[in-house]
Every structure is written in C-alpha cells, then in structure tokens.
Amino acid sequence: MFTKILIANRGEIACRVIKTAQKLGIKTVAVYSEADKDARHVELADEAVLLGPAPSRESYLVADKIIAAAKATGAQAIHPGYGFLSENEDFARRVEEEGITFIGPKHYSIAAMGDKIASKKLAKEAKVNTIPGHNEPILSAESAVEIAKGIGYPVMIKASAGGGGKGLRVAFNDKDCFEGFTSCRNEARNSFGDDRVFMEKFVEEPRHIEIQVLGDSQGNVVYLHERECSIQRRHQKVIEEAPSPFISEATRKAMGEQAVALAKAVRYQSAGTVEFVVGKDQSFYFLEMNTRLQVEHPVTECITGVDLVEQMIRVAAGEPLPFKQDEIKREGWAIECRINAEDPFRNFLPSTGRLVKYQPPETSMEQAAPERFGVRVDTGVYEGGEIPMFYDSMIAKLIVHGKDRAEAIAKMREALNGFVIRGISSNIPFQSALLAHPDFGSGNFNTGFIAQHYGGGFKAEDVVHEDPGFLVALAGFIRRKAREREAGITGQLPGHEVKIEHDYMALVNEGAGRHQRHALHIDEFVGNLGEAHVRVGDRSYRIVSTSRLNDIRIAGTVNGRPFTAQAERGTAKNPLAYRIQHNGLAIEVSVLSPRAAELQALMPYKAPPDTSKFLLSPMPGLLVQIAAEPGQTVQAGERLAVIEAMKMENILIAERDVRIAEVLAKTGESLSVDQPILRFE
C-alpha cells in the first residue's frame, strides 16, 4: 500500500480523496493555484505545492508541474479526481513512465474510451447497443448541417473529448446546428485542448442512466448497479439518485452485463462509469464511458456500502477486488443534489464572491465511510472562503440515504431547508422546487424534464409551497419572541415600557410597492419552551422552537410536525423586514402593529432606475467577444456579447431590435455584475 499520494485536483473532490486516504493511513499532497492558496483542500492535506496562476491552463492542467510536485514530495501515486487531467491519456502514461502510480485506469483504457468516436466503434465490437450517428470528426459548421440533415433532426453535437456538459449542444434545425457546432468546438478547444466534434441522433424523451463499474489488475470486473441522472439542465446533472425509479431488474442486469463486457474489452482497472440513454420502452444505447470517478459516486456508495475511492487506491496498489458480483448488495435509496454557485432566478448565471455564511445541514454520514440512512455533505469550501470565477460552480454535494425513495426525498427537502448560504446565490430554491414537483415524486421524468417544466426560466412563482401561510406565521412567531425579549430588558422608562401585543399585520412584499396583507393574532408564549399559537387569517399554527433569535436556521415543530426553515432580520431595502425561507420559497415580510401598517400604506414607492438602454453584465466574468459596433442595428435574438465564467461561454443576445450607440467595455476585460457593456440609442 502507498504511504503518500498526491491529489491532482481541487475543491470538493480533492477533499473527498484526502478523507479516504486519511482513513487508510496514507499521507496526502495537495496542489493549488494562486486563487486556491486558502482553499480547504490545501488545509486538509499534509503537504501542499503551488502550481501557478489561477487559470487552470496555467496550473491544474499543466502535467509537468503536477509530476514535478509528486517527485519533489515523494508521492508514490497520483489521484486525478474528476475533470482537469483525470481522463488525459498522455498524463496517465507520463505518470507511469516517471515511476509514479496513476490511481485510475491504464492509459490505453483511457485512450480507448476517452475518445467518444473511437469508443462507439469499440462498443459495437463488444456487442454493446449504440446510437446511430456520424462517428468521424466534423470539420466545419456547413458540413455539420449537411450531416444533421442526413441523420434527421434532432441531433446531438458532442466534442470528442468533452465532459461535464461542456462541448455539447442539441440542434433541432439548421440554425441550431450551425451555431451549436461553432460554440461546441470553441468550448472543447478551450476546456480540453481538442476541438474534434461528432454527431449522433438525439433520442427524444430519453433517460440518462449510468452503470458504475470496478475492475482490478487481475481481470475481475463488477458493476455496482445504476444511477439515475436524467434531471439535467444544459446537459449538466442537477439531481442524481440510486437506484433508478424506472428500469426493471431485467434491464438493470442487461445494462450491467454490457457495461462489464465493455470494461473487459479495454482491460479496465479502477472505477469507471458506462453511460446509457434509455428509451421509454427500456431499450438502451451506449453513450460514453467516463474513465474516472464520477461527481455522483456517493449515491452508489450509500446503497452498496462500498467506498469507491478506497477501491481505486487498493486496485492501483495491485490488490484484487474484495467481492464478486453476487456479493454486491443494494440497500435503500440515495439522492444527491449538486449545490452550485448560480442564481436560478437570473437564468442560472454564475455567482462568485465570498461565502459570508456557510452552514451545511447536520450530517450523519462521513465522506470516507459510507454509513447508511443519513445525510452527507461533500464540499471543498468553508465560511469566509471565496468562490472564484476560474473554475466550476459547485459549492457542495448534498447526499441523503433513506429506506425508500419517499423517505429519501423527504430527507433531502429537509436538508435543503437547513443549508445556509449567504454572500452568493445558490440553486437551492430550484432544487427544492424540483423535489416538490409531482412528476419527480412519481418518477415520471426524462432528460427533458427541466426544459419541459421550466423552459421559460425559473421564476419565483415556480416555487409552489403547500402552505405559504406557515412562512407568515413563522415571521409573526419570531417577531413576538423578539418583543418578549425586549419587554424583559431592565431599566425601561416607567410609562413607556415595551408592550407585548397580540395583534399584528404582516406585509408580504410582492415588489413594485405592492404588499399582500395578513392579519395575525399571536397568543402568549407557553413557559420556556418557545411555544406560541399564531393565527393567520382563518388558519392556526402551533409553533414550538427553542432556536435563538440570531440563528439563521430555525428548527422546531408546527402543529406537531418537525420543520427546518431559515429566517433573518433585515433586507437590503428594508432593515425591519424578515426574510423567511422554507421548501424553496423565500418571502420578505414586515410584521407591524395595525397602526404602523396603516401608516406604511401611505408611504410612496420609489421605482428603480431605468436600465433598458444598456446591456449589463449579468455575472462576473471575462468579456471574450463584443459582437456589435456603434451605429449597428441588431435584431432580437442576435448575439451582442459573449462572457466566459466558470469554464462556460455565456452568450448575451438582444431581447428586442436595438441600435448600438456606444461600446462601454473592452474585449478581454474582467467584468463585474451589472457593469455596462453596450449603450443603446
């Protein structure tokens, strides 16, 4: 067994590998860029080596620097994590040539499966079901359009070296195909240094289901059941679960056996994933093989009890797999939500900056010890740390394990309620809405689920709460609790003491100066239990909570049922209002005396400034293109600018016909949120 390994990655996955290495008594070496000098993985490791500047092409993607760091620190092996160099054949081969063990598959397996064109041909030879398509590199956008016509729309345009949703587009017509090919090729070149693109038929109403495999150096290969990964946005997974609520035992077995056959065909050693697209009739076709650890591996660990990182390390050290296929169990149901730094209410634009507050829910499962039936958080961040613009948007992975799917969904919803993130935006409200959707609950979904239900974007009204009156009642509860505390302060001027009212008016902010009004009646608190009876209109809530007034996370019971919610006093525009959040819904509510509410209704509303004559940057990022010049008329739907953030190209288009008056930013400039780029006439 190794005594020291280097982790050639950052963030959550670097921390994850370090945890398992510590469990095995192995020392670890972290590598980091200048942007990550204070990162959590650097702190957790026994040693750390600076690679270079923040851009990954100057740090995490430089093989020479990583190999030099391993040799300088005496690391006997390198674990690549996922992304970056994890599926780079040249890197794996060079590591081995330098006498260092690569904790992953051999370079020839990566070569065979890492190239999506070659892998499809090999899959056919191994008698694995494959999708019709054009498996040779496409050289131009014009050729792409002609090939797409031959295959028949819709088609999927994919970068040969792509992954993680990058270098991938779906085209439904010639225009989509022409533009998608160009963007696909650019993203592939920038992210992977390989701009080869191919095309295949897009299976409509598909499900994305993948099989986890493990192989050792003795030729043993097993599959550890499947993961359902159909809930995707822009081809990036949002929620993953294991097992799938869709496939039958017969389909599971057939997919697993084909995955094993493919792995054996390439002499696969280590953990890997064979991805399939599955039709509604349970027909399935090979998509690709990811020759690395997957982001969503924790759900497999939960249902099988197998630490996949540990097995990767043991296999790399020459040990055989400790189990056979019939010894792999499947117990309970696991779900993973990817918590990303993005604003779902602004078309999921990246959100970077400092984590002013970061309080994940309480956990009962450890990263390196797949214990059962609890909550687990895999993360690489900490409160006060930075979310930089140079890397992907993941803050954490939230994983739950229940006895069945219904219990897992309930656990996940409650865990999301208790996940406190401030300073940047996160996709937690979106995750909550997805989990509450009846089609998700019933398992009636496919990869088009998000496009179907949120095709026009995600809006506040898309968050459907089963009882929004509870949020108003909770605000009243907190306000009354604060008044109780204020009334107990000694030294108050006689005749002017704080009075504890029973009746209030709650004003829920609806924007543009409008408020929804709710009459509240609150009975006295009972003993020291933090209990009150709150009436909102004709509904009554018995709330019990001993959480402190300065706690953001509020836990207790309402009408005898446990709840976790979030509450804060003061918002950017109203320091006296409360912000209450539960099950994805967030409201801004002021709890006033009836007289104060009457006076508030007389206050004038000040409208925000008109910015319609400007193109504003919706996110921090690098301005890589300005597609318009002063005096040029641009039609609705045409490109205005391109901003690169978190390794993704974000195209800004004209919402209406406009004439450009002035260019206010320069190509290559680092933009801040709401920075003007163009001014319209």
User: Coil, helix or strand for 561?
Assistant: strand
HSE, side-chain direction, 13 A CA sphere, residue 388: 18
pLDDT for the residue numbered 492: 82
- Using left for φ > 0, alpha for ψ between -120 and 50, and beta otherwise, residue 413 falls in alpha
Average pLDDT score, the chain: 92
- Inform me whether the pLDDT recorded for 640 exceeds 80: yes
- Average pLDDT for 39-45: 97
Give φ, ψ of 493 to 5 degrees: -65, 125
pLDDT for the residue numbered 164: 62
Query: Of 84-88, 564-568, 621-625, 642-646, where does mean pLDDT reach its minimum?
Result: 642-646
- Average pLDDT for 58-67: 97
- Write the pLDDT tens digit of every residue in 198-254: 898 887 789 999 999 999 999 999 999 999 999 999 888 999 999 999 999 999 999
Query: Of 211-215, 417-421, 467-471, 596-600, where does mean pLDDT reach its minimum?
Result: 596-600
Assign 190 a pLDDT band (cuts: 50, 70, 90): confident
- Average pLDDT for 13-27: 97
Query: Of 254-268, 274-288, 398-412, where does mean pLDDT reach its minimum?
Result: 274-288
236 or 321: which leads in pLDDT: 321
Assign 369 a pLDDT band (cuts: 50, 70, 90): low
d(CA 440, CA 437): 5
d(CA 529, CA 524): 12
Catalytic residues: 288
- Average pLDDT for 529-542: 90
- Write the pLDDT tens digit of every residue in 294-312: 999 999 999 999 999 999 9
Choose among 623, 617, 655, 622: nearest CA to 637: 655
**Residues contacting residue 136 through CB under 8 Å, at least 6 positions apart:** 117, 198
d(CA 269, CA 103): 9
Q: Do 125 and 265 touch, CB atoms closer than 8 A? A: yes
Peptide bond into 243 cis (omega under 30): yes
Choose among 431, 483, 60: nearest CA to 240: 431
Assign 261 a pLDDT band (cuts: 50, 70, 90): very high
- Write the pLDDT tens digit of every residue in 389-438: 888 889 999 999 999 999 999 999 999 999 999 999 999 999 999 999 99
pLDDT for the residue numbered 525: 64
- The amino acid occupying position 176 is D
Counting residues of the chain whose pLDDT is more than 90, the rounded percentage is 72
**Residues contacting residue 455 through CB under 8 Å, at least 6 positions apart:** none
pLDDT for the residue numbered 528: 56
Give φ, ψ of 662 to 5 degrees: -160, 140
